[in-house]
Amino acid sequence: MLRFLFALLFAAVVPAHGQSAASQAATVPPAKRPVLRAEPVGGDDAAIAKAAAAALTASAATSKQPANVLPPAAAKPPVAPPPDKPPSPLDAKPTGDDALRLQIFLDQANFGPGVIDAKPGHFTELAVYAWNEVNGFPVEDWVAVNTAARKAVPNPQAVAVVPDVVKEWLDPDLPTKPSQQVKKKRMSYRSVCEFMSERYHCSEDYLITVNGKRKMENLKVRDSIMVPNITPFEVEKLAEIRHEADPVLSKRHAVVDTKINQVRIFEAMPAALVVAEPGADAPTHIVTRANRGLIASFPITPGQPKFIKYGTWELRGMIELPYWRYDQQLLDTGKRSKDSLNIPPGPNSPVGVIWNGLSKPGIGLHGTANPETIGRARSHGCIRLANWDAIRLPNLIRPGASVEIR
């Protein structure tokens, strides 16, 4: 009998003072482990560890566990998991999302990197050189521009909805022969994919890669797709207007460099460069200064060498959505004929959405129907830019400005 009473007494005392580890774990909720998010580029590892420790301390304090029971991870703060795609080095040409945000950053700053495709090439390099020149950094430096781009463009991709206005700018049956194009009211886009790619300064191939071929081939109004996170080129806002001279913009000048395929626009004469004489020792100290005179640069395709008119000319007419006089003899020989056709305006016009004529007849800066060919295919005699770059020119220069072709 005494043995039975002792057993009852032991059972009553143990739960209050000597629970097993398994029983204790079942009655006390575990501490919540903080989830550490990836820090922005430039984050301090020590700061991350400190934040993790603080989060764990707060978690333990709010837990219902006894004070003498520590969560398993309290002794060693967890390390933030590495991101799926580590950032590119700041001191080199970026890749992946970092490349995309760099191109977007440069484009929005009026230093055109060419077609945005997350694959920075020659034109992106030229845009970096120009941006560095303006901001006073060594031209081939990548750290400053990459740092600025990552701060300015945290999200390089965005969701875009196909607008209703695409219906007014779409013509799947747009012919390729000039003799048939003259019968059309407008040189529209041939597909919704083409419309959206030019709207967001990229190529159709890029949108297909990001969104899938089937989706892009069957794209329709109100569908949503992923695009570069950039201010769109809104073709619907263009009008058949002529831009007049401006007291400030008409005093600027542009330099068309046919060797590197770039046009650079200046507010004032560029800063002088120090060039060592042949055989002389290289300067031991070069002072880099910002060239605030340079305000924009864009990729171009120059005319065929036999048709290029080198020299300094005056910018004359600037016309949005121009009709284009198609003269095969002029294209072949540089001499006008009496036989010509008036091609209607539109983004797929051979001169794109704007014509900027020079004082040299028949020569001008204009848009193009094929932005992917900028820098590669030769035009007959003029200077071609992507439509989204060409349409910015009236905001940078106006009739009366000087244009040097060299």
**Residue that finishes a domain, picked among 84, 110, 132:** 84
At 144, phi and psi to the nearest 5?
A: -65, -45
Could you tell me if 219 and 338 lie in one domain?
no
pLDDT at 149: 98
- Do residues 89 and 150 lie in contact, with contact meaning Cβ atoms separated by under 8 Å? no
Structural domains counted in the chain: 3
Could you tell me if 186 and 254 lie in one domain?
no
Sign of the alpha-carbon torsion through 223, 229, 235, 239: positive
**Residue that finishes a domain, picked among 66, 84, 102:** 84
pLDDT digits (tens, 9 = 90+) for 66-75: 333 333 333 3
Give the Å distances, CA to CA, from 287 to 138, 272, 278. Answer: 10, 12, 20
Could you tell me if 305 and 401 lie in one domain?
yes
What does the alpha-carbon distance between residue 339 and residue 328 come to, in Å, rounded to a whole number?
Answer: 8
Output 16 or 287, whichever has higher pLDDT.
287
Q: Residue 12 falls within a domain, yes or no?
A: no
What does the alpha-carbon distance between residue 81 and residue 199 come to, in Å, rounded to a whole number?
Answer: 37
Could you tell me if 381 and 253 lie in one domain?
yes
Domain that holds residue 327: 249-261+300-405
Which two structure tokens, joined as six digits, stand for 3?
Answer: 């043995």
Q: Residue 335 falls within a domain, yes or no?
A: yes
pLDDT digits (tens, 9 = 90+) for 196-247: 999 999 999 999 999 999 999 999 999 999 999 999 999 999 999 999 999 9
Could you tell me if 254 and 365 lie in one domain?
yes
What does the alpha-carbon distance between residue 256 and residue 206 come to, in Å, rounded to a whole number?
Answer: 28
Is the model's pLDDT at 131 over the cut of 90? yes
pLDDT digits (tens, 9 = 90+) for 365-397: 999 999 998 987 666 668 999 999 999 999 999
Q: Residue 128 falls within a domain, yes or no?
A: no
What does the alpha-carbon distance between residue 93 and residue 175 come to, in Å, rounded to a whole number?
Answer: 41
pLDDT at 327: 76
Could you tell me if 256 and 354 lie in one domain?
yes
Could you tell me if 385 and 328 lie in one domain?
yes
Could you tell me if 333 and 397 lie in one domain?
yes
Is the model's pLDDT at 167 over the cut of 50? yes
- Do residues 148 and 105 lie in contact, with contact meaning Cβ atoms separated by under 8 Å? yes
Q: What rounded mean pLDDT belongs to the chain?
A: 80
Q: Residue 394 falls within a domain, yes or no?
A: yes
Could you tell me if 309 and 369 lie in one domain?
yes
The identity of residue 197, as a single letter, is S
Q: Residue 169 falls within a domain, yes or no?
A: yes
Could you tell me if 356 and 254 lie in one domain?
yes
Confidence of residue 39 (pLDDT cuts 50, 70, 90): very low
**Domain containing 337 — which CATH number?**
2.40.440.10
**Residue that finishes a domain, picked among 53, 84, 115:** 84
Could you tell me if 306 and 382 lie in one domain?
yes
Q: Residue 67 falls within a domain, yes or no?
A: yes
Is the model's pLDDT at 250 over the cut of 50? yes
What does the alpha-carbon distance between residue 232 and residue 212 come to, in Å, rounded to a whole number?
Answer: 21
Could you tell me if 253 and 351 lie in one domain?
yes
pLDDT at 128: 98
Q: Residue 401 falls within a domain, yes or no?
A: yes
**H runs (alpha helix) in 63-161:** 96-108, 122-135, 143-152
Cβ-based neighbours of 127, under 8 Å, separated by 6 or more: 106, 111, 112, 113, 114, 297
Is the model's pLDDT at 35 over the cut of 70? no
Q: Residue 65 falls within a domain, yes or no?
A: yes
What does the alpha-carbon distance between residue 47 and residue 361 come to, in Å, rounded to a whole number?
Answer: 64
